[in-house]
Amino acid sequence: MNQNKINVMTPKFASDFVCVGSKCEAHCCNSWDIPINKQSYKALKKFGDIEIRQLVTSNFKLTRQSESNYAEIKMSDNGDCAMLDETNLCKIHKKCGPKLLPYTCQDYPRKPHWFGNQAEMSMSLSCPEVVKNVLYDPDAMMITSIEQYEHQLNHGNIGGFKPTEGPSYLPLVRDFCFSVALNSILTFEQKLFIIGLYLKQSDAYLNNLERLSQLADSFHSMISDGTLTKHYETLPSTPSIKWSFFATQDFHLVTTQYQTQTVSFSKIKKFDAFIECQQMLMNSLHTSQDTDTQGKDNYFTVANPEREHFKYTEILTSSEKYLTEHFNQHPQILINFLLYSLYNDQLMVNLGKKPYDYFKFLTIDALMLKSYLSGIALQQKGLTKEWVVKLFHSYFRRRQHNLGLFNQINTNIKKAEEQSEYLIFSLLKD
């Protein structure tokens, strides 16, 4: 066992986290693949309580892939874990305590990543309690350093690059992005624009730290003298392109989920908060004749990239007042979202992406979230914390369980860049 002690940078949103268990609106384990390690499997198999032994016999499938993946829990048709009781409490947790839970369940929603010699503790936005902490606590991103044994941190399952393996440019480039995110004069869209432009220009110098640092200095000067905000103002507004990006992505976000699961819409609806949020926008679009997912049982509306960008643009405009009102009441929401993303995603370098690619994914996320928030705000005549949390956790849960989405986004971006390599920036413009 690794007895190394490491520094773990821990933001307040993570140290404040408390799982609300049966009161949770999300059932975090729904539709997961949950591997069981050999030790837990053997202990549960001969546990004193007969109900647990029976549950293991009828709901655990042996895989024997490795010590950590020795068996799997079979999910029911609607994606629920078979171990949940009628009040949605986990029976293993209730009767056997947390130590016998699969590591996945013990660790979620924690997501530590290496960053140099230290680890950065983060948490997944697919958990609603994490969303509340990240978006609604003005101090969410205050970080303290905690010393911890490496093997105790998510059972040693730490993501990102191991110490000394990460790209040397990452701290410098990310620090520049943080400094822009923290600038109190710039709007959210201007911040994204400046970060994107810097990441685009830094692409050619990722192996030259001195040049990267000079580039950051020159960007800071251009922020101070207003050059970059003037540049932002000259960006064209491209509503039809925006709609095309949104609609293509929406179609994919919705339909891939149903093509990979054989559950009826009535059952899906029970837990699918994302569809509830997405349908708010679809209702505002009045897309009754639009493309629907295949099969009568799974009938619901998705966006059609070929139509309706006028209506979509109108919705974005008319909901602006509701979004502004909510963001004025909670001025930390957008800045925390940006800081969290930069911190948590580490510019996606561990996924083999270049920093500029990361900017494009972040821009599409911002577009999708803003669009859905607009639909919700119009239907509800305002935004509430409950709806914002519902949208964010369900959107990120959908993203997390659908890695094919990244390929889809990539394809869309490449197609757009055939028209103009700067087209992605126009998505930031109203």
Q: Smallest distance from the beta carbon of 288 to ligand SF4, in angstroms? A: 34
- Cβ nearer to ligand SF4, comparing 135 with 302: 135
- Cβ nearer to ligand SF4, comparing 93 with 191: 93
Q: How many residues make contact with ligand SF4 (CB under 6 A)?
A: 10
Per-residue binding letters, 1-40, with ligand SF4 (x by CB under 6 A): ------------------xxx--x-x-x------------
Question: Which residue in 108, 312, 322, 372 binds ligand SF4 (CB under 6 A)?
Answer: 108
Q: Smallest distance from the beta carbon of 113 to ligand SF4, in angstroms? A: 19
Q: Smallest distance from the beta carbon of 124 to ligand SF4, in angstroms? A: 9
Q: Smallest distance from the beta carbon of 251 to ligand SF4, in angstroms? A: 27
Q: Smallest distance from the beta carbon of 115 to ligand SF4, in angstroms? A: 24
Q: Which residues contact 194 (CB under 8 A, 6 or more apart)?
A: 180, 186, 219, 223, 228, 232
- For β-strands 71-73 and 60-62, DSSP reports them as antiparallel
Q: Smallest distance from the beta carbon of 126 to ligand SF4, in angstroms? A: 7
Whole-angstrom Cα distance, residue 180 to residue 191? 6
Exposure pattern of 234-255 as b/e (b: 16+ CB <10 Å)?
eeeebbebbbbbbbbbbbbbbb
- Cβ nearer to ligand SF4, comparing 104 with 363: 104
- Strand-pairing partners, residue 118, are 115
Q: Smallest distance from the beta carbon of 237 to ligand SF4, in angstroms? A: 38
- For β-strands 118-120 and 5-11, DSSP reports them as parallel
- Cβ nearer to ligand SF4, comparing 28 with 75: 28
- Cβ nearer to ligand SF4, comparing 20 with 185: 20
Residues 367-396 that bind ligand SF4 (CB under 6 A): none
Answer for the pair 305, 251: CB distance below 8 angstroms, yes or no.
yes
Whole-angstrom Cα distance, residue 112 to residue 303? 36
Whole-angstrom Cα distance, residue 298 to residue 301? 10
* Interaction between residue 79 and ligand SF4 (CB under 6 A): no
- Cβ nearer to ligand SF4, comparing 106 with 291: 106
Q: Smallest distance from the beta carbon of 339 to ligand SF4, in angstroms? A: 21
Comparing C-alpha atoms, which of 239, 240, 371 is closest to residue 315?
371
Cα four-point dihedral sign 406, 411, 416, 418: positive
- Cβ nearer to ligand SF4, comparing 32 with 41: 32
Q: Smallest distance from the beta carbon of 29 to ligand SF4, in angstroms? A: 7
Tell me the one-letter amino acid at 209.
L
């994919």: which residue's tokens?
Answer: 252
Gyration radius from the chain CA atoms = 23
Whole-angstrom Cα distance, residue 79 to residue 319? 34
Residues in the chain: 430
Whole-angstrom Cα distance, residue 215 to residue 55? 60
Answer for the pair 116, 165: CB distance below 8 angstroms, yes or no.
no
* Interaction between residue 333 and ligand SF4 (CB under 6 A): no
Whole-angstrom Cα distance, residue 148 to residue 160? 18
Count CB-CB contacts under 10 A for residue 159.
15
Whole-angstrom Cα distance, residue 71 to residue 57? 11
* Interaction between residue 129 and ligand SF4 (CB under 6 A): yes
Q: Smallest distance from the beta carbon of 287 to ligand SF4, in angstroms? A: 31
- Cβ nearer to ligand SF4, comparing 75 with 127: 127
Question: Which residue in 55, 101, 127, 376 binds ligand SF4 (CB under 6 A)?
Answer: 127
* Interaction between residue 109 and ligand SF4 (CB under 6 A): yes
- Cβ nearer to ligand SF4, comparing 72 with 129: 129
Tell me the one-letter amino acid at 222.
M
* Interaction between residue 101 and ligand SF4 (CB under 6 A): no
Tell me the one-letter amino acid at 339.
L
Residues 208-267 that bind ligand SF4 (CB under 6 A): none
Q: Smallest distance from the beta carbon of 111 to ligand SF4, in angstroms? A: 12
Residues of this chain that bind ligand SF4 (CB under 6 A) = 19-21, 24, 26, 28, 108-109, 127, 129
